[in-house]
């Protein structure tokens, strides 16, 4: 045994034992750091934070976060990626980075609710104005773009009401008018379509400028991690976003990154399983008398189905790709109280926000309170959204059947 040169407490901090090098296992190691150590002062002075050629501080990247960023680039077909503590933080960092006082941001009226709250309550304090456009009407977006418009948010499909827009047309319009397009790509997850290659032919002629992804959903897949990403293909745009990201102090933990790295290899299999279960149950719900409308972009009766078919229809050997998420409109002859009984009576479906994990979830929504304008493509009634987990479809169908019977007789 080595003679101890220091006090025991010092020895336990600066221990001399080094494990043998060349340990190889199957998963990337978890590196956890605030402080990153430099070999000498010269290296410290020359620290490079602009790219992934070295390390400067835990907040700005470790081998674990770099690997996650690169694998996410592969998933979505991007070139640069920034990790943030949540999907909402990804949205916030894009808006805060690209907008300044006097600018205007355009948001689809069916956007993820917290993006609207951020814009209405926070961005407004920075002198940034906003307007809501109808995502199902490209001409409406065209009419709302002004000289002050700097950023257009897009969702495909919209949150809760699930209308699928003509995404390539919306992006082409932004290109034409010189406005940055930012897609919330959480639903597509890099699997239903390629956000930076909307023609799908590898040409990259048409693509969004920024893709944000709530990794909380399918990349995590467990309902146990919150994380987001901001992806680009243009280095100059990436650097603008990266500087804001650094100045705001956004970063993610090594343990959370490891959880997502461990889930990524199964994301395509899980996505397909969620998709299959959701489509079966959505079709079954279409036949139930209490249900006035099913909102699922892969169903021909759903708003924007033709746009979905064009963009996502070729995947899965022609079956198309869609997430495990859909909503139903309960016929207005049934009261809100009855809809509450439906949700409370479900046993396998849990009441809770978020989606993308193994447990099926249900949330009732009051859609009128969420929209700036009426939504003609939706039937009147109460909207209920389902996230289909990985339980057996037969069990979920039986659960829905007993809850429907209890609520509507």
Ligand X SMILES: *Cc1c(COP(=O)(O)O)cnc(C)c1O
Measured from the CB of residue 246, what is the shortest distance to ligand X in angstroms? 20
Residue in 77, 78, 87, 324 binding ligand X, rule: CB under 6 A = 87
Binding characters for ligand X, 37-66, by CB under 6 A (x = yes): ------------------------------
Measured from the CB of residue 352, what is the shortest distance to ligand X in angstroms? 12
Measured from the CB of residue 325, what is the shortest distance to ligand X in angstroms? 8
Give me 291's structure tokens. 């249900």
Q: What residues numbered 337-356 form the site for ligand X, per CB under 6 A?
A: 354
Decide whether 389 or 408 has the Cβ nearer to ligand X. 389
Q: By beta-carbon distance, which residue lies closest to ligand X?
A: 87
What strand order describes the sheet that includes 382-387? 291-295, 325-330, 382-387, 361-365, 350-351
Q: What is the 3-state secondary structure (H, E, C) of the chain?
A: CCCCCCCHHHHHHCCCCCCCCCCCCCCCCCCCCCCCCCCCHHHHHCCCCCCCCCCCCHHHCCHHHHHHHHHHHHHHCCCEEEEECCHHHHHHHHHHHHCCCCCEEEEECCCCHHHHHHHHHHHHHHCCEEEEECCCCHHHHHHHCCCCEEEEEEECCCCCCCCCCCHHHHHHHHHHHCCEEEEECCCCCCCCCCCCCCCCCCCCCCCCCEEEEECCCCCCCCCCCCCEEEEECCHHHHHHHHHHHHHHCCCCCHHHHHHHHHHHHHHHHHHHHHHHHHHHHHHHHHCCCCEEEEECCCCCCCCCHHHHHHHHCCCHHHCCCCCCEEEEEECCCCCHHHHHHHHHHCCCCEECCCCCCCCCEEEEECHHHHCCCCCCCCCCCEEEEEECCCCCHHHHHHHHHHHHHHHHC
Contact between 159 and ligand X by CB under 6 A: the answer reads yes
Measured from the CB of residue 252, what is the shortest distance to ligand X in angstroms? 11
Contact between 226 and ligand X by CB under 6 A: the answer reads yes
Decide whether 214 or 260 has the Cβ nearer to ligand X. 214
Contact between 88 and ligand X by CB under 6 A: the answer reads yes
Decide whether 162 or 330 has the Cβ nearer to ligand X. 162
Decide whether 217 or 242 has the Cβ nearer to ligand X. 217
Measured from the CB of residue 240, what is the shortest distance to ligand X in angstroms? 21
Decide whether 87 or 303 has the Cβ nearer to ligand X. 87
Residue in 86, 211, 229, 259 binding ligand X, rule: CB under 6 A = 86
Which stretch in 85-93, 234-242, 274-282, 327-335 sits in contact with ligand X by CB under 6 A?
Answer: 85-93
Decide whether 387 or 399 has the Cβ nearer to ligand X. 387
Decide whether 232 or 408 has the Cβ nearer to ligand X. 232
Residue in 108, 228, 324, 381 binding ligand X, rule: CB under 6 A = 228
Q: What residues numbered 110-129 form the site for ligand X, per CB under 6 A?
A: 112
Measured from the CB of residue 87, what is the shortest distance to ligand X in angstroms? 2
Binding characters for ligand X, 194-223, by CB under 6 A (x = yes): --------------------x-xx------
Contact between 270 and 390 (Cβ < 8 Å): yes
Residue in 110, 186, 244, 253 binding ligand X, rule: CB under 6 A = 186
Decide whether 253 or 407 has the Cβ nearer to ligand X. 253
Decide whether 230 or 403 has the Cβ nearer to ligand X. 230
Sign (positive/negative) of CA torsion 306, 310, 314, 320? negative
Measured from the CB of residue 129, what is the shortest distance to ligand X in angstroms? 22
CA dist., res. 230 & res. 73, Å (int) = 10
CA dist., res. 102 & res. 148, Å (int) = 7
Measured from the CB of residue 387, what is the shortest distance to ligand X in angstroms? 10
Residue numbers at the binding site for ligand X (CB under 6 A): 86-88, 112, 159, 184, 186, 214, 216-217, 226, 228, 354
């Amino acid at each position: 045994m080595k003679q101890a040169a220091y006090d025991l407490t010092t020895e336990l901090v600066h221990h001399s034992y080094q494990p043998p090098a060349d340990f190889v296992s199957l998963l990337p190691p978890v590196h956890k750091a605030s402080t990153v150590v430099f070999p000498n002062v010269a290296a410290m002075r020359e620290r490079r934070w602009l790219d992934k050629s070295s390390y400067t501080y835990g907040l700005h990247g470790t081998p674990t976060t770099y690997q996650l960023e690169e694998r996410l680039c592969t998933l979505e077909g991007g070139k640069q990626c920034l990790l943030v503590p949540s999907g909402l933080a990804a949205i916030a960092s894009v808006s805060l980075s690209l907008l300044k006082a006097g600018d205007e941001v355009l948001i689809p009226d069916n956007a993820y609710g917290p993006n609207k709250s951020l814009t209405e309550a926070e961005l407004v304090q920075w002198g940034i104005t906003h307007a809501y456009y109808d995502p199902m009407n490209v001409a409406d977006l065209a009419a709302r773009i002004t000289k002050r418009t700097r950023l257009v948010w897009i969702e495909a499909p919209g949150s809760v009401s699930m209308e699928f827009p003509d995404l390539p047309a919306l992006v082409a319009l932004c290109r034409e008018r010189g406005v940055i397009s930012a897609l919330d790509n959480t639903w597509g997850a890099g699997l239903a379509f390629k956000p930076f290659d909307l023609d799908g032919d590898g040409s990259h002629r048409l693509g969004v400028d920024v893709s944000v992804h709530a990794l909380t959903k399918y990349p995590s897949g467990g309902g146990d991690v919150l994380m987001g990403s901001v992806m680009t293909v243009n280095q100059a745009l990436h650097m603008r976003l990266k500087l804001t990201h650094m100045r705001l102090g956004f970063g993610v933990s090594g343990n959370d990154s490891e959880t997502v790295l461990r889930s990524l290899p199964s994301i395509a299999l899980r996505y397909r399983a969620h998709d299959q279960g959701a489509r079966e149950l959505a079709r079954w719900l279409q036949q139930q008398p209490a249900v006035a409308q099913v909102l699922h972009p892969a169903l021909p009766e759903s708003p924007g189905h033709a746009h979905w078919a064009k963009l996502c229809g070729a995947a899965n050997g022609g079956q198309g790709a869609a997430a495990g998420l859909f909503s139903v409109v309960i016929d207005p002859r049934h009261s809100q109280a009855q809809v509450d009984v439906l949700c409370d009576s479900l046993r396998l479906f849990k009441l809770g926000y978020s989606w993308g994990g193994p447990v099926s979830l249900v949330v009732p929504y009051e859609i009128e309170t969420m929209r700036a304008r009426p939504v003609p493509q939706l039937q009147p009634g109460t909207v209920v959204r389902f996230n289909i987990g990985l339980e057996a479809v037969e069990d979920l169908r039986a659960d829905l059947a007993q809850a429907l019977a209890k609520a509507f007789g």
